[in-house]
Each structure stands twice: as structure tokens, then as C-alpha cells.
Structure 1
Amino acid sequence: MNFPQLQIRTTDAKLGLNIVNAKQTIKQPKATQHIEQPAAILDLETTRGIMKIDSSQARRDIGLIGPLESASNFAAEGRKKAMQGIARRVREGNQMMDIAHNQNAVPSIAKQNTFPHKKALGIDFIPSVGSVKLDYEPAKLDINVQTQKPIINAQINKPVYGYTPGKVSGVMMQNPTIEIDFIV
């Protein structure tokens, strides 16, 4: 016996998708900066050093003296020699007065005047050591520094942001079908 048959054939639907991706852009511009460094204020105060040199004694030692001092020295030396001459003549006169008691007075006076006195030999440093006097007052230096703070101006720039949304659209690539056949 033949039974009636029912045949069903189906075709699946095919769905296609059109996808456009979203686009996003972000740019961060650099910050705008202005930096200024003012120069430090530098204040220097100096006091000059003072050097005093007194070489008057050294000049005297080598015979370089001024006219007033030279005249005074020559007058003193002349006075001294004159007094020595007077004393010598007084002494010789006294010896001559005593000629009656002293028979060798004339040869003794002659001997005193003809033979000079012995001088000591030695080394003299001209000018004498320590005759130049030095006095020094050192210089003074005062330094004052005033630092200046830097001037910083910074401006932050906002990010540049761009966004294009994506799209998804469906397309039916194949429609579904159902075929039913009835066979007896």
C-alpha cells in the first residue's frame, strides 16, 4: 500500500552584513610654554688695598737725604768736629804748658796727630736690614647676589577629538524558501 508522502524542502536564509567600522582620532597638541629666567642681581663692592712703603731710612743709609736734613746733618757734623778740634787743641795746650814737667810733650803730640786711629773692619749692609718699612691693608670685597625666580607661563591645550560612528546594515543574500510536495 502506498502511503501518501509529504515532502518538505527548505532553503535557509542567508543574511549578509555590511559593516563600516567606527573611526576615532585623538590628537593632543603640546602645551604652549613661555619660560623666562631674569638675570640674578649681582652687587660687588670693593675697597682698595692700601700699601704704604716707607723707604726714608734706606735712602738715608745710602746717602739720599733731602736738603733740609742734609744741611742739618752737615751742621751737626761740623759742630761735632769743631768741638773735637777745640778739645784737641786744649789738650795739646795743656801738654805744652806742662813741658817743664814732661819732656816728651812735643813728640807725644806729634805722634798723636800723625798716626790715625785704627778702624774696625766689617761688612755693612747698605741699606741696613729692615730699613724699608711695609704696611699693607688688604682689599675688601663684598658680594651680594639676589636670585630671580623664573617666570613660567604654561597653557594646556585641549585634545582634538574626532569620532565617526560605525554602521552595520543587513542584506538578505538568499531568501528562505519552503517547498512542500504532496505525493500520493
Structure 2
Amino acid sequence: MLQPLLQIRQTPALIGMDADLGILSITQPKAEVNITTTSAELTVESFRPELLIDQSRAWAAFTGGSLPDMNKRIYSGIQQLYLQGIARKVEQGNRMAHFFKPGNTIAEVYGTDTEPNSFPETRGPASYDNVDIHFETRDPEIEFHPAEVHIQVEGRRPEIEYTRGKLNIYMQQYASIHFIPPEVNFQL
């Protein structure tokens, strides 16, 4: 005879999950770069050459030159002529002291003195080298300032943004147990 069986049916629990990923956004603004340049500077200052011509000695020999120089020459020349005149008078006096010697008569001593007294030279000495020429040059003044570059960088921090995703956890199916009893016939 068959034995009746009890049936047990079981339904497992199912958990449902609905998940969306989070969104991560990272942006970084560009750094701000400022570049300033100072240009190079070159300064050159040149000077004209100078030609100096001193022809004062040539003019002194030609015309006597300036009045103070001419007076100086006359003054020093008069001193010289004065000394020469004194020497000539002394020599004539010495000759007159010996009047008894032949050739020392008054007519011979003073009569031959017919030369006029000369005036001192008012002009300077003549020479081929009376003009002085001097040529003067100067080196140019050069200044150089090199170029300068100034760089300023202002960095920006990254901007990070995170948006959370969603997570839904729910019971998709509940667990259950069903007992199905056997059919029992009570017939005898």
C-alpha cells in the first residue's frame, strides 16, 4: 500500500536591486599665464671728431699777433736794445779815453755812428712749423640693456563634482512555504 506524501513547496526570497552608477566630473580651468617682455635697448652716442688748428704763432709772425704778445716782444726787445746801446756807448767812451791813439778821434768815434737805432721786432719768428694741428676723436658711448621676460603663472585648482547614483533595494519576491497535504481517502 502506498503511503501518502506530504508535499512542501518552497519559494525563495528574491531581493531586487536597482543601481545607477555615480557621476564623477573633474574639470580644471586653464592656468592664467601673463608674459611681459621688456625689449632690449641699445644706445649709441657718438661724438664728432674735433679738429683744432692753432695758428696764433703764424699770425704772430705775419702781423705781430695779439696786442699783449706784441707788447711783450717790444718790451723784451727794448731791454735788449738798451743793453746793446749801453755797451756801444761804453765802447765809444773807452775809445775816447784813448784819444791819443790814431783812429780814436771824436770824428772817427762818433762820426761813424750813423746807424739809426733799430726798433725791436714786433713780430714773432717765422717758421714752417708755426701752425699746430690737433685732431681729437672720442670713442662712442655704448649702453646695452638686455631684454627681460617676466612670466607669471596663476594655476587653477581642479573642480571635482560627484553626483551619487541611486540604489533601490526592494523585495522582488517574498519567501514562502506551501504545504500540500496528501489526499486521504477514508473509504474502507
- Kindly name which structure, 1 or 2, has the bigger radius of gyration based on alpha carbons: 2
Give me the TM-score of the superposition, normalised by structure 1: 0.46
Which structure exhibits the higher relative contact order, with contacts defined as CA atoms closer than 8 Å and separated by 6 or more residues? Answer: 1
Give me the TM-score of the superposition, normalised by structure 2: 0.45
